[in-house]
Amino acid sequence: MSAEWGKTTAQEILPSINGILVSGKQQTVLAGLSTDSRKIGSDELFWALSGERYDGHDFIEDAVKRGAVGIVVQKDHRKAGDAIKRILNGKHQNPIVITVDDTLKALGDLAYWWRSQYSIPVVAITGSAGKTTAKEMTAGILELGNRTLKNKGNLNNLIGLPLSLLYLNKEYHRAVLEMGMNCPGEIARLTEIADPDVGVITNVGFAHLEGLGDLEGVARAKVELVEKISPKGRMVLNGDDELLMKTAAMFPREMVTFGAEKKNDVVAAKVRNLGLEGMSFILKYQGRDLPVKLKVPGFQNVLNALAAAAVGMCINEPPEHIVEGLSCFGGLKGRFMVSRLPYGMILVDDTYNANPSSLKAAIDSLESLVDERKRIIVGLGEMMELGDATVFAHEEAGRMVAELGVDCFLAMGEHANEMKKGAVAAGMSQDCVEVVETHSEMVSKIKGEIREGDLVFIKGSRKMALDKVVEGLNRKITEDN
């Protein structure tokens, strides 16, 4: 019988997590699971995780008071023992208390067991750029025929992915899971947990260099998905990415490739840039030629669409589902989201995150939105986790902005001066480049510079929170017009 909250008991989960029942009845039915004591539901299990900023063991008493049916804690944790004694000596009705060696590992082990109860296709997607868009495009195809589970938001790490899998129930017939990482071993562990039938790597780029060293290190970390996927699984890979293909070739797996080059299994031909209206192309695979029109601009989205189409091919989705699913995709907030402002002005919101590879892809796509009449204003925040490549990467960012032919460039963050230096070295006038200190200053500078018909592009790493700039611009421009 499939695992299902409201029916699964404490006894059923104990073997999968190598847990010890310290208190409570094995037959107690669990209504769900939460790692946040503030959001715990009645009869749910509180899972105490230890993190950099918070330790769930500080909140186990609070969770029980709020209605948790029990707790899962780390064995011999210094904060857990006294709290457990107080709980067991209190007024609570013999709550479940389970101890494990490591609550994070146990969460993943539980998610793996839960996933194993469902004989449904599971897709896992990773990559240095485009993985969220590829996930959403893939889900858009798959859910046309069957209800499909997918990660919400950025729940793609060693906590978020297991929690996502634990939403599986008998109503879902497919699952599409995004996998993120910033150090070696994470993709391997996520692959063990998800046990995907199809794995996707969108590309290998300059991201998380602080934890991975260099581009080859990024490739090895991403290819852990190839290494750990079941021998029966299939891999969907960007065949145009030479380093990715070379690294993946170390492991004998069935591979389907996508890309712009004719050598690939899934190819985009006759690609047309439709400007603000998106992109169109002929999707070629297995002898079929399928016309596709995307609502979203940028060649990087054509590649994301090819990845999603290849997944559909792997699990035998009807061609009409692939075309319809791709054509319905309307973009994602903060990921090269294009919006029209008054007086023909255009705002491109790419603020969700940034690394050198995603910045290059975005700038290449900007060229498809610009004609000779448009002025371009760019606001960039710094890029994080680049290690020894930090200075060079930010100078290169400035160079790319300058080569786009930008009229006004505003840089923000600890490495804003490196961006300015790169832009000026590439020929941009110093009068057109400025370092700003705050979100409000960037908004004010752009508002003072923007004219009818201009294009504004905003991008930066998540920690820079440049979505505040986008919100501020929308508010100010709307109020003034």
What domains does the chain contain, in order, with CATH numbers? 10-103 (3.40.1390.10), 118-328 (3.40.1190.10), 337-480 (3.90.190.20)
**DSSP H or E run through 387:** none
Q: Per residue in 254-266, pLDDT tens?
A: 999 999 999 999 9
For the chain, give the percent of residues with pLDDT over 70.
Answer: 96
Average per-residue pLDDT for the chain: 92
Give the Cα separation of 412 and 426 in Å (integer).
19
Inter-residue long-range contacts of 334-338, CB under 8 Å, 24+ positions, other chains counted: 334/467, 335/132, 335/133, 336/296, 336/297, 336/298, 336/300, 336/301, 336/362, 336/365, 338/276, 338/296, 338/297, 338/369
Is this prediction's pTM over 0.85? yes
**Pairing outcome for strands 408-412 and 376-381:** parallel
Q: What confidence tier does 289 reach under pLDDT thresholds 50, 70, 90?
A: very high
Q: Average pLDDT, stretch 212-232?
A: 91
pLDDT tens for 453-464 read 999 999 999 999
Q: What is the pLDDT of residue 477?
A: 75
| Residue, of 384 and 200, whose pLDDT is higher | 200
Q: Which DSSP letter does residue 41 get?
A: P
Residue 44's SS3 state is strand
Q: How far apart are the C-alpha atoms of 295 and 330, rounded to whole Å?
A: 6
pLDDT at 208 over 80: no
- pLDDT score for 481: 57
pLDDT of residue 312: 96
Q: pLDDT digits over 36-60, tens only?
A: 999 999 999 999 998 888 899 999 9
pLDDT at residue 182 is higher than 90: no
pLDDT at 405 > cutoff 60: yes
Band of pLDDT at residue 374, cut at 50, 70 and 90: confident
pLDDT at 197: 97
Question: What pLDDT score was predicted for residue 51?
Answer: 81
Q: 372: pLDDT confidence band, cut at 50, 70 and 90?
A: low
Average pLDDT over residues 217-241: 96
Q: Left if phi > 0, otherwise alpha if psi is -120 to 50, otherwise beta: which for 480? A: alpha
Average pLDDT over residues 339-357: 90
Question: Alpha-carbon Rg of the chain, whole angstroms?
Answer: 24
Question: Which range, 168-177, 212-221, 330-339, has the best average confidence (pLDDT)?
Answer: 168-177
Taking only the tens place, the pLDDT of each residue in 290-305 is 999 999 999 999 999 9
- Give residue 210's pLDDT: 65
Q: Give the pLDDT confidence of 115-145 residue by residue, as tens digits.
A: 999 999 999 999 998 999 999 999 999 999 8
Q: Above 90 in pLDDT, residue 343?
A: no
CB 171 within 8 Å of CB 209: no
- End-to-end Cα distance, the chain: 60
Confidence band (pLDDT; 50, 70, 90) for 338? very high
Identity of the amino acid at 411: A
> pLDDT-derived band of residue 85, with 50, 70 and 90 as boundaries?
confident
Q: What is the pLDDT of residue 209?
A: 64
Instruction: Convert the pLDDT of each residue in 418-441 to its tens digit.
Output: 999 999 999 999 999 999 999 999
Helix (H, G, I), strand (E, B) or coil at 33: strand
pLDDT band at 313 (very low <50, low <70, confident <90, very high): very high
Q: β-strand 266-273 against 279-285: which pairing, if any?
A: antiparallel
Share of the chain above pLDDT 90, in %: 78
Please say whether the beta carbons of 313 and 326 come within 8 A.
Answer: no
Kindly report, residue by residue over 94-109, the tens digit of the pLDDT.
789 999 999 999 999 9
Query: What H or E segment, with its residue span, contains residue 97?
Result: strand 96-100
